[in-house]
Amino acid sequence: MGPSDCPGPTNPGIPLDERWIESVRVNLPAVQRRAATLGTKRTVKKQWQAAWMLRAVTCIDLTTLAGDDTQANVQRLCLKAAKPIRSDILAAMDMEQAQLTCGAVCVYPSRVPDAVAALKRFKAPHVPVAAVATGFPSGLYSLETRLREITLAIEAGAHEIDIVLNRQLVLNHRWAELYREVQQMKAACGPKIHMKTILAIGELGSMNNVYKASLVCMMAGADFIKTSTGKEALNANLPVGVVMCRAVRDYFERTGYFVGFKPAGGIRTGKDACTWLILIKEELDDRWLNNKLFRIGASGLLLDLERQLFHYVTGRYAAAHELAMS
Ligand SMILES: O=C[C@H](O)COP(=O)(O)O
């Protein structure tokens, strides 16, 4: 099966398996050693690196989650998601016909109508709009409020929902309650809307909790597990990526269900993006190397990817005014 045959997430969830959760022991030194070798053993250069960077572009959830987001900056974001790389750069790579877009745009629920309208205007209505919901970023609201927020975001036009976990339930190992909450959120999303569960790994206390929370989310029917909101002090990092990918792989091996993975927060460079792709290739496999099962949540990464691709085709680095997001 190649990446294009990949079905995308297929996860209906399974009953909560507390014995599996209790049996989890993460070997932290081994995880750290594994993460340290990722960017060093396999190097991709020249046309292969350019191809990986183009793949990374298609996997970006191009994000703006700022308190001062407006219709205007969401429109600019959508234009960039619809046409992420300058057409002369694509032409030089013989990729002009590929109609490259980002994987999705990701915004606050109140900006969803702006994003939907802008993508339509820019002739890219097929680019999904993801809304962060359930009291992003803290999740510290009543369950009723959080569930209602999902419904409202979908009514406003969101195609994907990024929920946040109730960290207290993880920190106190209240797995059954966490399972029920995530299950209700999945039910609120319904069968057509992809639900990504943001773990907020920087606030979960330990790698064991990261692994266990990943499992609970998948058991409850998550389509993707996502590292971070981008607002915690510690966001996406490779050791956490190793742990979450192993949870995805173990879940797949036991159930046969595909779950996607989304690192988010602090990913800024083309080199970082390639290292995350290497992680996916080595810890999962090629079936996950596409935007149905892998996304990178990032507000600033696209600019560096475009800059690196500009350098690849011209042999020089672009001046600030030559790239639209500068
Ligand atoms: O979900 C995406 C993150 O909020 C983006 O974080 P970032 O601004 O550090 O790229």
Report which ligand 1 atom has the smallest distance to the Cα of 235: 9
Q: How far apart are CA 268 and CA 303, in angstroms?
A: 8
Residue 325's pLDDT is what?
Answer: 65
pLDDT higher than threshold 50 for residue 81: yes
- Whether the CB of 106 sits within 6 Å of ligand 1: yes
- Whether the CB of 205 sits within 6 Å of ligand 1: no
In a domain, 301, yes or no: yes
Å from CA of 266 to ligand 1 middle: 6
pLDDT higher than threshold 80 for residue 122: yes
- Whether the CB of 183 sits within 6 Å of ligand 1: no
Contact 105, 77 (CB under 8 A): yes
In a domain, 195, yes or no: yes
Residue to substitute in 229, 237, 269 for testing ligand 1 pocket (most ligand atoms within 8 angstroms of CB): 229
Q: Which of 252, 218, 182, 215 is nearest to 21 (CA)?
A: 215
Contact 122, 132 (CB under 8 A): no
Q: What is the ipTM of this complex?
A: 0.97
Report which ligand 1 atom has the smallest distance to the Cα of 231: 4
- Whether the CB of 64 sits within 6 Å of ligand 1: no
In a domain, 102, yes or no: yes
In a domain, 2, yes or no: no
Residue 1's pLDDT is what?
Answer: 40
Residue to substitute in 224, 234, 235 for testing ligand 1 pocket (most ligand atoms within 8 angstroms of CB): 235
In a domain, 215, yes or no: yes
Å from CA of 20 to ligand 1 middle: 31
Contact 226, 196 (CB under 8 A): yes
- Whether the CB of 296 sits within 6 Å of ligand 1: no
Q: Which of 191, 142, 132, 130 is nearest to 163 (CA)?
A: 132
Work out whether the CA dihedral 269, 80, 137, 199 comes out positive or negative.
Answer: negative
pLDDT higher than threshold 50 for residue 3: no
Contact 289, 261 (CB under 8 A): no
Contact 251, 18 (CB under 8 A): no
Q: What is the pLDDT of residues 211-225, one digit of tens each?
A: 999 999 999 999 999
In a domain, 6, yes or no: no
Q: Whose CA is nearest to atom 8 of ligand 1?
A: 299
pLDDT higher than threshold 80 for residue 173: yes
Q: How far apart are CA 64 and CA 73, in angstroms?
A: 8
- Whether the CB of 297 sits within 6 Å of ligand 1: yes
Work out whether the CA dihedral 306, 310, 320, 233 comes out positive or negative.
Answer: positive
Report which ligand 1 atom has the smallest distance to the Cα of 132: 1
Q: Whose CA is nearest to atom 4 of ligand 1?
A: 230
Helix (H, G, I), strand (E, B) or coil at 225: strand
Q: Active-site positions? A: 226, 262
pLDDT higher than threshold 90 for residue 42: no
What is the number of domains present in the chain? 1
The DSSP bridge partners found for residue 197 are: 163, 225
pTM of the prediction?
0.95
In a domain, 9, yes or no: no
Tokens describing residue 90: 């694509």
Q: How far apart are CA 91 and CA 88, in angstroms?
A: 5
- Whether the CB of 63 sits within 6 Å of ligand 1: yes
Q: How far apart are CA 307 and CA 199, in angstroms?
A: 31
Residue 8's pLDDT is what?
Answer: 84
The DSSP bridge partners found for residue 106 are: 63, 130
Kindly state the percentage of the chain with pLDDT values over 70. 97
- pLDDT band at residue 6, thresholds of 50, 70 and 90? low
CATH number for 124: 3.20.20.70
Which of the 8 DSSP states describes residue 102?
Answer: -
In a domain, 198, yes or no: yes
State which residues form the domain around 105.
14-316
Residue 5's pLDDT is what?
Answer: 56
Query: Region 92-119: what's the mean pLDDT?
Result: 96
- Whether the CB of 299 sits within 6 Å of ligand 1: yes
